[in-house]
Amino acid sequence: MRRHLARRTRRLVLLGTAAVILLLMGAVLAACAGGPAGGLTRTSDGGDGKVAIAEQPLPPTDVQGGGTVGVGESAPLPAGQGTDASMNAAGPMIIRTGTMDLQVADVDGAAADATKVVTAAGGYVAGSERSLDGDRPFARLTFRIPAARWDATLAELRALGTKVLGEQTTADEVTAQVVDLDARLKNLRATETQLLGVMQQAVKIPDILAVQAELTNVQGQIEQLQAQRDTLADQAAQGTLMTSFALAPAPVQAVTSAWDPATVVADATATLVGLGQSIASAAIWLAIVGLPILLVGLLVLIPLLLVVRRLARHTPGPIPPTDQAGPSAELPSAA
């Protein structure tokens, strides 16, 4: 009897489990077939970085009158935005900067000639500064020179001076940075297009506000990255060169420039102060170190001298010599 009840119980448990599994499978299939009508989610397919918003496909939307773009598609890039292929075709993007110090016979004339050279190359003057070094004129101009004419323009500028006092140039490649910015901009514009499509389909105010906040965030990132890319592209398209123009030193000034009375006075004063410091240092050492050593020496030497003097007083003097033969004996008289 007990075995019969156990078998029936097992059969009921198996049938119940099978029924539950069938119900769950039916619910899952129904959910996949129908899907929620108004839910908004944000997922990533992990492939090309595109972001899909909404759980059901949306009808294609018009993007700035340039055709329709589906939610899962990428928006076309605006004109002027580079891609990896166009970047490779254009070559590496290099930012060139430099300085050049020229010695000239006429500062104003040389500055004017340099401006003409840069303008003829397609560049322009980005800044200028003129001043007097004593009674001698001095000028400093900042030029923006097209990258294609950089080396040729620098050669022409060197020819304007009687002597090149100094020159320094640097070249920093930013191709990888621009490519990275282009990729990020492409993904953000695709997300922007999808958000615009979702906003057109949203009917509930909370959904509209959520999409609007996300859209504002994405558009702010696009503007920031676009500004960075434009700055790099402008710096790579035209290098920056700061050029200074100065007159050659006069002969008398060149001879007397090595002697400066103020410098001599300063050196003499410094020597006197150093001598005084040395004397003061010696006095300090004598007061702190020498006097204690002298006192200790006196305390040891004075008692020693007294002892030696006392011993010298009690020492007997030398014994005077005496006649060992005694009184002389009288010699016998001769017979």
- pLDDT score of 166: 93
Q: Nearest 10 degrees: CA dihedral of 14, 16, 21, 22?
A: 110
Tens of each residue's pLDDT in the chain, 335 residues: 556 666 666 666 666 666 656 666 655 455 444 444 333 444 334 334 333 444 333 433 333 333 333 333 334 444 344 444 444 445 789 999 999 999 999 999 999 999 999 999 999 999 999 988 778 899 999 999 999 999 999 999 999 999 999 999 999 999 999 999 999 999 999 999 999 999 888 888 898 899 999 999 999 999 999 999 999 999 999 999 999 999 988 765 545 556 677 788 888 888 888 888 889 888 898 888 877 887 887 787 788 777 777 777 776 656 656 555 444 444 454 43
For 190, the token pair is: 């695709």
> Using CB atoms within 10 A of its CB, is residue 118 exposed (0-12), middle (13-18) or buried (19+)?
buried
- pLDDT score of 61: 38
Assess if residue 102 is contained within a domain. yes
Q: Which residues contact 36 (CB under 8 A, 6 or more apart)?
A: 55, 56
CA-based end-to-end distance of the chain: 191
- Residue-wise DSSP of 246-313: EEPPPHHHHHHTT--HHHHHHHHHHHHHHHHHHHHHHHHHIIIIIHHHHHHHHHHHHHHHHHHHHHHH
What is the C-alpha to C-alpha distance for residues 123 and 241, in angstroms, rounded to an integer? 11
- pLDDT score of 56: 38
What is the C-alpha to C-alpha distance for residues 152 and 117, in angstroms, rounded to an integer? 10
- pLDDT score of 48: 41
Helical (H) or strand (E) element with 166: strand 163-173
- pLDDT score of 83: 43
- pLDDT score of 180: 95
Q: Which domain holds residue 178?
A: 95-252
Counted domains in the chain: 1
- Residue-wise DSSP of 51-90: EEESSS----EESTTS-EE-TTSPPPPPTT---HHHHHHH
Looking up tokens 């004397």, which residue turns up? 279
Q: Which residues contact 114 (CB under 8 A, 6 or more apart)?
A: 141, 143, 157, 160, 243, 245
Assess if residue 57 is contained within a domain. no
Assess if residue 52 is contained within a domain. no
Assess if residue 218 is contained within a domain. yes
Q: Which residues contact 298 (CB under 8 A, 6 or more apart)?
A: none
Assess if residue 323 is contained within a domain. no
Assess if residue 190 is contained within a domain. yes
Confidence (pTM) = 0.48
> Using CB atoms within 10 A of its CB, is residue 226 exposed (0-12), middle (13-18) or buried (19+)?
middle
What is the C-alpha to C-alpha distance for residues 114 and 121, in angstroms, rounded to an integer? 11
What is the C-alpha to C-alpha distance for residues 97 and 116, in angstroms, rounded to an integer? 20
Assess if residue 178 is contained within a domain. yes
What is the C-alpha to C-alpha distance for residues 306 and 296, in angstroms, rounded to an integer? 16
Assess if residue 126 is contained within a domain. yes
Torsion sign, CA atoms 331, 332, 333, 335: negative
